[in-house]
Structure formats: structure tokens, C-alpha cells
Chain A
Amino acid sequence: MAFIEDLVPLSIVICLFGGIICSAINGRIARRLTITLLGFQIVMNALVLGYTLYLGHEFVYVMGRFPAPWGNELRAGCLEGLMALFFSVIMLLSVTGGIRGQDDDIDPAKMNLYFIMINLMMSSLLALVYTNDLFTAYVFVEINTMAAGALIMIRRNGHTLVAATKYMIMSLLGSGLLLIGISMLYSITGQLLMPDIKEAVAKINASGEYAIPLTVVIGLISVALAIKSALYPFHSWLPEAYGYSTASSSAILSSLVSKGYIFLLIKIFYRVIGLGVMVDHKITNILFIFGIIAMISGSISAIRQTDVRHLIAYSSIAQIGYIYMGIGLGSMAGMVAAIFHIMSHSATKSMLFIAQRGLVEVSGGSKDFSDLKGSAYRNTLAGFAFAVGAFSMVGIPLLSGFTSKVYFAEAAITSVKVKMWIAMITLAVSTILNAVYFIRAVISVYTPRKMEFKDPMYKPARTSAAALVCFVLLNFFLGILSYPIAYTIQTGLGAFG
């Protein structure tokens, strides 16, 4: 067994360790420790990805002395490696990009608690990506939920407390439904390991025994993860949670927390229930419809916003709609597009949140567009990054958003007639709506003020500048060199079976 295989559990355990140690040390040291650990994460997960690509097939890591159906195990294929690498990169950039925001918003005596949450969040994301066992997934979903709630409420004001309460209520509802779904699935299959469940489900589906519980299980699990990732009718917690928490938290919530759940859902589609069974139960159609509604309604709500944070938050709802639309197409191409959009949206949304923090900083702390006028001239790099992010969300060529829209369109063309037309028309309409609010935002940020006042003492934080440059490069990378990534996703999904 190669040394690199040990890196999979090590990357999870080392984050847990980081969280434990952060609880005993000073906030600033905790931040340094966390950033160093995240750097290590990137290296480790990159090695795992490289190893799986070199190996050409997945490998299984037995956690302990007993093999899979009795003990726990982790599984790493090229798709898991890619997602883990990507999540750790985004996490590192979001944390470093928002350092000044953290200093302003968080009580220094509670700074170390913030980094406990970051570390445990990272470990839970990695565990969700790598796990091969449904119950392990549930345990780490719990950790993820609590950490996300804490990330919202660490900034102490009335709004964040309300937002955290809303988030906890909705998210715990999702957790509860997920747990009921998993326990029902266990009682009809008798297994918790993903491939074993899939075998049993195929048998059940063929024999027709337990048909009703199986349908209920599929519905419960899909709805639970849709609630947790803020699909359209369950999005009410999202704008406040993204709008008032500190910039790093917003970036992490929008680009990692909800995406981790979506990836888990895709994993359940392929590895637990089987895509064929899912399509037979028509759950993909339901997700497709809600995805379509989310694409339109999220954008329309975003047009009404005058607050930059809320605008980005509502745009997130629309983008999550895109991802569910891709999943709802029920084909391999749709899934590839959805996973690619998970990556492209994460990279763009976290960049927008970090960039808006830079713009708000030079506008006297106001998030309103009337005060943000001309802020791009006061903080050039943040303005540039904001513009790049906005163009990427609209779908300007060379940027990641464009590429993912192309993948969606390709996937839609190969699917059934009705879905094709609905998907294509909604894509077009939603692109126009995106353009309406994002271009307006960029224009207002770049409109010079007559009385331009520039604080000569102001200097953008070096860390956030570095993070923004990396984000912009990542965006161009995803936009231009998308083929190898899409190929890796496709291979990984193929290995999912």
C-alpha cells in the first residue's frame, strides 16, 4: 500500500486535530495554524488526485482492522480527489481573503473559536467527499451544520443571530429528514455501505418488494439535501445568512457548505440508489422543476436588491437552481455540467464575497450601491475582481461561468425534447436576468463620483489582494482549461458506476 493512500484519512484527522488545538490557543496563532494546515491540505489532496489519476482506478482505505461492511472505509477516486483539492483551495483563499474582515467583525477573545469551526468544517467536507458509508456521511453532516451555524453567528449583531436561528431551524429539519431517510433505507436493505446498499436496492427494485418505502426514502433524502443546500422553496434562510455574516463566512457558506451537500446528493444518486432507479422514481423531474423555478425567481429577487451582499446572496439561489437543473436532466452529461458548475460557482461566489468586502471597506462600511459608487477606483484590485466575478456569473467567454453554461446547454440538447426546450429557454432568460443585475452592479461600482474622496492612508490588505489574484486566475483557469477538469469529472462519475 502506497504512502499516498494514508493521506486520505490523514487529511481528515489532521483537521480534527487542528480544531482541537485551536480551542486551547490564542486567536492569532490559531489563524496561522489553520492557514498552514489548509496549505498542507492542498498539497495532500493534490497528491491524492495525482495518485488516483496515475493509478487509473479508485482505491479503498479501510479505517481500522475490519473490512468494509463491518468497519468504516474511505474511498478515493479521481472525482473525490478533485473535489477535495478544490474545496481545500477555496477554503484557504476564503480564509486568507477575509483576514481584515475577521479582525473587524470578530471579538478577539473568540477568534480561536472561529478557527475551530473552520477546521472542523474542512474535516467534515473532506469526510463527506471521501466517505463510502452512508452513516459516516450523516455524522459529518451534523458537524457541518453546527459549524456553519457558528460561522454565521460569530459576528455579534441582531441580524446574524436571527439568520443563524433561521439557518439552524431549516438545516436541522433537513438533517432530521435525512436521518429518517437513512434509517428507513437501512431497515429495508440492512446495509450502510454504499455499494452494498446499491446492490440491495437493485434487488428490491426488481422484485417490487418494499416499493413504497423505497420511494419515500428517495424523496426524503433528496428533499433533505435540497433543504440543506437552499434549493428554491427552502431558501428563506439564505439571504440573511449570507448578507450579514463576516466576509469569509459568507464565502465559505455559499461556496462550500451548500456545495458539499450537493456533492453528497450526487454521490447518493450514483453510488447508493443508482441513477436508473432515481430516474425511474421521477425524482429528477421534481428537482429539475424546482431548479428551473429557482433560476428565474432567484434572479428576479436579485434585481430588486440595492444591497450588494443581498444581491450576491440572491444570485446564489439562482446558481443553485442551475446545479439542480443539471442534476434533474438525469443524464451523465447533466451531472458533469452540474459538478463543473459546483466548481465554477464556488470559485466565483467566494471571489465576489471577498471582493465586495474590499469595496465596502473604502465606502465607509456601507453596502448600499449608492454609497459604493466609484469604489472600484478607490480599491482597484477588489473592483477588478468584482467585475471578473460578475462577468463570470453572467457568462462572458473565457470565464468559468461561460464554460459551465456551455456544458449545461450541451447536456440539455442531448436530453428529452420537453426538458431540452425548457432548459434552453430558461438558460437564455436567466442569462439575461443575470446580466441585468450584475452589469448594473459593475457599472455602479465603476461610475466615478464628482467629489471623489480618497483616503490616502488606505491600503488594501496584502493577504486579501493575494487571495483575489488567485481567485481571478482560478476563474480564468476554469474558463479556458476546462477540458481536463470535465474529463476528470466524467471519468470519476464513470467509476461511480
Chain B
Amino acid sequence: MSRKRTDYRSTFYSRIENFVNGKEDFLLYKPKGNTEAKQLESLEEELAEAADLLEQREARQKLQDRMAPLDYLKNFHKLYGVVAALVCATMMILLISTVIYLPPFGSPDNPTNNEVIERYIEKGEEETGAVNIVTGLILNYRGFDTMGETHVLFIAASCVMILLLIVEGEEKKSVYANDRYLEPGNDIIIQRVACFLIPVILLFGIYVILNGHLSPGGGFSGGAVIGAGLILHEAAFGFRKTERFFNEHVYKIAKVSALCFYVCCLSYYFYMGAHGYDNHIPLGTPGNIISSGLILFINIFVGTEVACTMYAFYALFRKGGL
């Protein structure tokens, strides 16, 4: 069964026929016979468009009519903004004016300059073995708080994973492919600079961690430096090359073992301290790299955890996985 065509007049063959019959000059390419029909068609189209527009306008009008009773919300939103600004201003004025009544900054008679600070400063080096008093304070005197603080980082990384980790197979593949595709990857300038910078950054991070008890720094800051180095490596060379030495597997092992050892060290420290047992870990000579007992190890564990978390944040935001 052959299909019957109705649009013969507009086809190439009809134009040839017209040419043969002398109704139309083929070279001028003016399908005379079609013009009327086309005009009609275009007119109809215009009409339909106009009708569509009318309908849309009516629908919009209807919607506006329905929304009309909500006009008072406009005033509410204005009022809301004003009240919010007022509340903020009140809070600011309240807090700033309270600061005026607080003890002056740096005065020796302040309530904060008491026996607690005195012992930290005078006996800190002797009791913890750390030349850097702040490290001795946060990792030894108040080790429990810092353990909580490290777990804040851990829980933050886990929260980001809940939000951004992509687990479904297909989506994962496509995201991976897209990311690889969009990755700048072969920017020669970044790569050359990274070649010079990354070893220096990583070395500096390790230096900051290992000297945490001697000079300013420690696990938190050194870990952040190492994390920045890993991120630079990824940005310059792409995920494929970074994954050769830092993938999900390595991340898990590093993070879990660092945290486990950290908690074990502190538990040992709490237990021995609370029961008043002798210290079995020598404090060493203050000022040496290998001194201050557990603090050095705790700094290393904290540094590992922080570096892992920094890189995990970056990778999760970039491609939804490590």
C-alpha cells in the first residue's frame, strides 16, 4: 500500500513540472504556486500564536487574581526585613557595649592571669617536655578537649560524605567521565610549578608537624599544609595520577589508623594519669626533636587526620568521591 502524499505542490518534482509547463522560471527559484498556501499557513500560525499568547495572559491574570489576597505578605516581608535588621543591630550594640565592661585586654590584673596560666607558663616545659607551651597545653594538659576537637573534623568529613558521596554505579561512572573530560589536566605551566612546589609544601608540612612541640605549629596546621599540597597535586596532574598514591583505600587506612592510635594513646595517658602510675614514656631533653613523650606521636596522628580530611573535602566537592 503506497502512501498518498498531499503536499505534491511544494515538492521538487512539481517545480520541475511547472518549469516544463512554463509556469515558473526554475532559475529564479520562486515557487509561485505555493505562495498563497504559504501565506495562509503563516497567517494561521500567527493566529495560533496570538491565541496562545492570549491564553497565557489569561492564565497569568488568573494566577495574579488568586495571589491577590497574599498581597499582605509583601508588607510582611518588608516588616520582616526591618525587624531582622533591628534584632541584628540590637545584638551588635549589646555585645559591643558588653565588651566595654569586660576587663581591659592585656592588663596584668585580669582575672584570667591566675594560678592556672602561671603553672602552664612556669612549669609547662618541665612537665610536658614541650618547648611550645601551647602544644603542651592542648595536647597534654587539656588532651581530652583536643580529642573532641579532632573528632569534630572526623565527623565533619563524614557529614560531607553523607551529602556528596556518589555511590550509584551509572551516575558514578558518568560523573567520573565528565570530570576527567573537563579536567584541565595538561596545563604545562601549572605542572612545572607544581613539580617545584609540591615537594617543598609536603616537606614544610612534615616539618611543621614534627616540630609542633618546638616551634609554632603542630598537627592541625601541618596537616592543613600537607592537605594543600595534595590538592595542588590533584589540580595540576588530575585524579588519575593522584589516585596512584592517594585513593579511597589509602585514605581509609590512614584516617582510621591515625584516629585509632590517637584514641589509644590518650586512653593510655588518661588511665596512667588517673591512677597515678609512673610515666613510662621518657620526656627527653626539651628542645630535641625526639622529646616530649606522647605529644610528638599525637601531633603526627592529628596531622594525618587533618591532611586526609582536607583532601577529602576537596575531592568530595569536585567529583563526589575519593
Contact = CB atoms under 8 A, between A and B. Distances in A.
Q: A and B: real partners? A: yes
Interface of A: 1, 5-6, 9-10, 13, 16-17, 19-21, 23-24, 61-66, 69-72, 107, 109-110, 113, 116-117, 120, 123-124, 127, 133, 135-136, 139-140, 142-143, 146-147, 149-150, 153-154, 180, 184, 186-191, 200, 210, 212-213, 216
Contacts of A135: 142, 145
B16 to A, nearest CB: 61
Given A64-B273, A66-B127, A143-B151, 14 more contacts: A1-B275, A9-B267, A19-B155, A23-B252, A23-B255, A63-B270, A65-B273, A71-B141, A72-B145, A110-B165, A150-B155, A153-B162, A190-B110, A210-B101
Contact of B102 (A110, A133, A187): A187
B156 interface: yes
Kindly state the interface size class of chain B when it binds its partner: 35 or more
Given A110-B167, A180-B95, A213-B101, A187 B152 contact: no
Contacts of B155: 19, 116-117, 120, 143, 146-147, 150
Interface in B138-176: 140-145, 147-149, 151-152, 154-156, 158-159, 161-163, 165, 167
A69 B116 contact: yes
Interface string B100-144: 011100000011111110011000000100000000000011111
B98 A184 contact: yes
A61 B270 CA distance: 9
Nearest to B260: A20
B225 interface: no
Given A20-B154, A139-B149, A188 B163 contact: no
A283 B162 CA distance: 39
B271 A6 contact: yes
B263 A117 contact: no
- Nearest first, the 3 closest Cβ-Cβ pairs linking A and B are A190-B111, A139-B148, A65-B273
Contact of A19 (B147, B154, B266): B154
17 contacts: A13-B266, A17-B260, A21-B260, A24-B252, A62-B274, A63-B273, A64-B141, A64-B269, A64-B273, A64-B274, A65-B269, A66-B127, A66-B273, A69-B116, A113-B158, A136-B144, A142-B152
Contacts of B141: 64, 66, 70-71
A463 B47 CA distance: 67
A143 B152 contact: yes
Contact of B159 (A72, A127, A149, A191): A149
Most chain B CB within 10 A, of A61, A133, A150, A180, is at: A150
B154 A61 contact: no
Contacts of B158: 23, 113, 116-117, 150
A17 B263 contact: yes
Given A70-B119, A72-B143, A216-B98, A143 B148 contact: yes
A206 to B, nearest CB: 15
B247 to A, nearest CB: 14
B193 interface: no
Contact of A16 (B116, B151, B272): B151
Nearest to A68: B116
Given A23-B255, A216-B94, A64 B143 contact: yes
B226 interface: no
A391 to B, nearest CB: 37
B279 interface: yes
Contacts of A66: 127, 140-141, 273
Nearest to B259: A20
Contacts of A120: 151, 154-155
Nearest to A9: B270
A143 B112 CA distance: 27
Interface of B: 94-95, 98, 101-103, 110-116, 119-120, 127, 140-145, 147-149, 151-152, 154-156, 158-159, 161-163, 165, 167, 252, 255-256, 259-260, 263, 266-267, 269-275, 279
Contacts of A107: 167
A114 to B, nearest CB: 8
Given A65-B269, A139-B152, A154-B162, A23 B101 contact: no
A19 B260 CA distance: 10
Nearest to B101: A212
Most chain B CB within 10 A, of A16, A140, A186, is at: A16
Contacts of A62: 273-274
Given A110-B161, A146-B156, A150-B158, A13 B263 contact: yes
Contacts of B162: 110, 113, 150, 153-154
Nearest to A22: B158
A23 to B, nearest CB: 6
A213 B273 contact: no
Contacts of A153: 162-163
B120 A70 contact: yes
Contacts of A61: 274
Nearest to A211: B101
A19 B165 CA distance: 18
B274 A72 contact: no
Nearest to B272: A65
A140 B145 CA distance: 9
A187 B111 contact: yes
A136 B273 contact: no
A116 B110 CA distance: 42
B111 A63 contact: no
Most chain A CB within 10 A, of B101, B162, B259, B271, is at: B162
B134 to A, nearest CB: 14
A147 B155 CA distance: 7
Contacts of A136: 144-145, 148
A65 B277 CA distance: 9
A347 to B, nearest CB: 27
A63 B148 contact: no
A187 B151 CA distance: 27
B145 A139 contact: yes
A61 B95 CA distance: 36
A491 to B, nearest CB: 25
A116 B98 CA distance: 40
B111 A188 contact: yes
A187 B273 contact: no
Nearest to B258: A20
Contact of A13 (B159, B252, B267): B267
B159 A146 contact: yes
A340 B144 CA distance: 30
